[in-house]
Amino acid sequence: MTDAGWVLDPRTPGAEKVALLTWLMLAVAAIAFVMVLGLLALGLARRRRLPLGAERWVVGGGLVFPAVVILALSGLTVWALDADTPPAGADPALTVNVIGHQYWWEIRYQPGGGSTVSGEVVTANELVLPVDQPVQLELTSDDVVHSFWVPELGPKRDLVPGRTNHLRFTIDQAGDLRGQCAEFCGAQHARMAFLVHAVPADEFETWLANEAAPAPVPTTDSQRAGMATFQQEACSSCHAIRGVVDDPAGLLGADRNRVVIGPDLTHLAARDTLAAVTVPNDRGHLGGWIADPQSTKPGSLMPAVPLDPEQLLSLLDYLQSLR
């Protein structure tokens, strides 16, 4: 699990500008506050006449000074916002669709834009992104309004059902970051986080190629039994495992778009966490999550699927093989 974010630790050019602007605004605010305290202290002392008269102080300190600050801030606003616009002739961005659900993130890497993979790559709750390459996120929601927020990467952007919002940035430093839903979305809004792994471009390509591949074939009997459990029980009604269950519960839409209910599990074992960064992705937590989702994340929309102990153990063997 990763530490929380920090707005003042920027990892993109846009976030750098905002961080700089923030420090500047804090400095100006501190100076202005000291001046106000100074006047207040004078006000609590014996009466004195202000040079030039009270009205000139009111106009100077209350109108002119704020107006100058505001003018400066307006200009700086435009300067800070500019960083997200791609320069002319820039490489096409890596495009990732992020679709919000109660209470998890559906992530779909799109082909093109410098990606070496020819098809769509679907995962959940963890974004791996290349450093020094423009990334464009296309954001929408399947249900209610959510918001995508990684403090180090710059602005947050809402995921609004019925519209697609965009977020562009170029990460300039490798590292692991944590994001969290920033628009109240219901019962488990508090536990709807996600991870961002910023890695060098070649590492990203390796990861993406692995994700694009269908699910690893089970190699042991236990794993095969687990795969069978997955296919026969309720799991396959909501979760896809590419190559095993491509179309949960036959819910392909008219234009052959899958209606998505639960996260894609094709490479579940490659992820660090479960339930949108609620618990670590290890055998114990995975077993607990499957056996009783409500005790890990009460109000989550995953139902408890009753399984025999052997079924659960073999299912865990299978799921843990899905690297």
Instruction: Name residues contacting another protein, limited to 132-191 (CB under 8 A).
Output: 139, 143-145, 147, 149, 151, 154-158, 160-163, 165-166, 178, 180-191
User: Is the CB of 17 or the CB of 267 nearer to another protein?
Assistant: 17
User: Is the CB of 66 or the CB of 243 nearer to another protein?
Assistant: 66
Minimum CB separation of residue 143 from another protein in Å reads 7
Number of residues that bind another protein (CB under 8 A): 89
Question: What is the pairing mode between strands 165-170 and 134-141?
Answer: antiparallel
User: Is the CB of 185 or the CB of 241 nearer to another protein?
Assistant: 185
Buried b (16+ CB within 10 A) or exposed e, 79-115: ebeebbeeeeeeeebbbbbbbbbbbbbbbbbbeebbb
Whether the ω angle into residue 318 lies within 30 degrees of 0, i.e. cis, is no
Which residues inside 12-31 make contact with another protein, applying CB under 8 A?
A: 14-15, 17-18, 21-22, 25, 29
Which residues inside 82-121 make contact with another protein, applying CB under 8 A?
A: 102
Residues 306, 219: Cα–Cα separation, whole Å: 25
Which residues inside 214-243 make contact with another protein, applying CB under 8 A?
A: none
Minimum CB separation of residue 132 from another protein in Å reads 22
Query: Where does residue 49 rank: exposed (0-12), middle (13-18), buried (19+ CB within 10 A)?
Result: exposed
Minimum CB separation of residue 14 from another protein in Å reads 7
Tell me the backbone φ, ψ of residue 52, rounded to 5 degrees.
Answer: 75, -5
Order across the sheet with 193-199: list the strands.
126-130, 193-199, 175-180
User: Is the CB of 48 or the CB of 256 nearer to another protein?
Assistant: 48
Which residues inside 257-286 make contact with another protein, applying CB under 8 A?
A: none
User: Is the CB of 28 or the CB of 209 nearer to another protein?
Assistant: 28
| Contact region with another protein (CB under 8 A), list: 10-18, 222-230, 258-266, 306-314 | 10-18
What count of other Cβ atoms lies within 10 Å of the Cβ of residue 31?
Answer: 10
Query: How close are the terminal C-alpha atoms of the chain, in Å?
Result: 19
Which residues inside 30-89 make contact with another protein, applying CB under 8 A?
A: 32-33, 36-37, 39-40, 42-50, 52-63, 65-67, 69-70, 73-74, 76-78, 80-81
Residues linked to residue 95 through DSSP beta bridges, in sequence order = 136
Residue with tokens 């399947």: 142
Question: What is the pairing mode between strands 94-101 and 134-141?
Answer: parallel
Minimum CB separation of residue 32 from another protein in Å reads 7
Residue 302 sits in the site that holds another protein (CB under 8 A): no
